[in-house]
A and B are shown apart, each in its own frame.
Chain A
Amino acid sequence: MILAQSEPVIPDFGGGSSCERDNGAFCWSWVKDNWSDVLWPALREHVVLTLIAIVIGFALAFTLALLAHRRGWVERPVTLATGILYTIPSLALFQLLVPFTKLTTLTAEIALVSYTLLIIFRNTLTGLRDVPEEVRESAQGMGLSRNQLLRQVELPLALPSIVAGLRIATVTVISLATVAAFVVDKGLGVPIFDAIQRGVFKTELYAAGVLAVALALGADAALVLAQRAATPWARRDA
């Protein structure tokens, strides 16, 4: 965490190879020496931060969307509230939570969860509402109860829209979890801030940045594959 960077920064690139001492463009030796102590733990923490936020965010937003699907008036207040949360810049939200929940993982998670809500809520609700009326009527004609209709017809058909929401929410959380290092010493933001404090140590900036980008692209691709596997009937269109 960098609070107050008032003193001049004395570059400190460690006592490793000459590449590291000269702050070369990219030093493999540093990556090798610091993988198990710095980069790997940061990556692991980043994944955990993201997973927790997505699971909790999904549980909340999905429940709210089901509720709004049944009772239409729920949509407006939820959209308004989650929309405001979504618009608050991350750095501000993290900082506004600190007085209440201190510099803890809880602070980071509350903020991260709040960024998932609007997207998952909106996409789930849109998916449920876009189920064609004829499909709904024929299911009811076959004698399906309201719950059966939801579970066997509406949710499977809404799945592509729900997964689309999950994809955006996941990459958003992965992005903002780097900022979370501002309030808690976890995730890929830690090596980024460390590199800046050491006087813009390039190798560490590149390594952490590449890991964050790779994690986001990988998670996005994994969700696409999961959706394909879960919706075999849609494969022909895709």
Chain B
Amino acid sequence: MGEEGRVKEILDAFPFIADNASLLLHKAGTQLWIASIAMVVTLAIAVPLGVWLGHVHRGSFVAINLSNVGRALPSLAIIAMLIAPLGLGTSTLILALVVLAVPPILTNAYTAVEGVDRDVVDAARGMGMHERHVLLRAELPLAVPLLFAAIRTASVYVVATVPLGALVGTQGGLGDIIVDQASYHLSGVLGAAICVAVLALLVDLVFAGLQRLVTPRGLRARIDYAALQTEASA
């Protein structure tokens, strides 16, 4: 392919997106669906466990080191090692995503609840709140911003990792198109790559908005969202 032909193929990525909107939407939908299932399972495991450990101020060693180890796990290697025993099904990919997403959420849930000002918790107890209410009405609302920052980071990560499934032959959402140049040509591959990038940025934006909504009103003014994200991913 000559230089001109290549430039044309690159520019054709945009018409490809316009002409194949329904295919791309369908693949994006699959990608979001897989990511959502993985996130729901992750949250169901990690949030209650992390919140409880933080509430009783126990297990700090495990909670903190888990995220250091979890962060280091290479995504494609985890997917590969789960494919070996479990095969190429979508559930293998979902399980890999859960393995990758649980550690940061668990650690942040723990840190968020554990880090709530002790004076606030004492005041809540002093007001005669039940232990359950101390957790639900004092600790959890104060922990929400940090917890949600972690959920946002993990969600973007999970959505961005689904396409790797296509590399190893499971489902991959838009990744299915990216790895299939023979069927979709360079223009299709690039078009899908652009869509994947946009999808990840959109998910991040949506969660940034949600983060604002779920933050208790009294806390909003005091929270520096940029700093929160740093903590969450650090």
Contacts and interface: CB of A to CB of B under 8 A. Distances in A.
Nearest to A97: B193
Interface residues of B, number: 52
B234 interface: yes
A113 to B, nearest CB: 17
Contact of A96 (B179, B197, B204): B197
Interface string A193-210: 101100010100110111
A92 interface: yes
Contact of A164 (B179, B180, B234): B234
B190 A200 contact: no
A91 B83 CA distance: 19
Contacts of B196: 88-89, 91-92
A67 interface: no
Nearest to B76: A178
Question: In this complex, which of A95, A126, A171, A212 has the most chain B Cβ atoms within 10 angstroms of its Cβ?
Answer: A95
Contact of A90 (B84, B156, B160, B182): B160
Given A84-B201, A168-B233, A200-B87, A212 B180 contact: no
B83 A200 contact: yes
Interface string B120-146: 000000000000000000000000000
Interface string B161-183: 10110111100000100111111
Contacts of B169: 2, 5, 196, 200
Tell me what chain B mostly uses at the interface: helix, strand, loop, or mixed.
helix
A217 interface: yes
A89 B77 contact: no
B84 A200 contact: yes
Contacts of B87: 200
B56 interface: no
Interface in B60-78: 68-69, 71-78
Nearest to B202: A87
Contact of B234 (A2, A3, A123, A178): A123
B116 interface: no
A168 B160 contact: no
A136 to B, nearest CB: 20
Contact of A217 (B69, B167, B180): B69
B68 A4 contact: no
A79 B10 contact: no
A208 B9 CA distance: 35
A209 B86 CA distance: 15
B97 to A, nearest CB: 13
A220 interface: yes
Interface of B: 6, 9-10, 68-69, 71-78, 80-81, 83-85, 87-88, 156, 159-161, 163-164, 166-169, 175, 178-183, 186, 189-190, 192-194, 196-197, 200-201, 204, 226, 230, 233-234
23 contacts: A3-B182, A87-B197, A87-B204, A88-B160, A90-B160, A92-B178, A92-B192, A92-B197, A93-B197, A96-B194, A99-B6, A99-B186, A126-B230, A174-B72, A175-B73, A175-B76, A178-B77, A182-B167, A192-B76, A192-B77, A196-B83, A209-B84, A213-B77
Given A4-B182, A88-B160, A88-B196, 7 more contacts: A88-B200, A91-B193, A93-B193, A96-B197, A119-B233, A122-B230, A196-B168
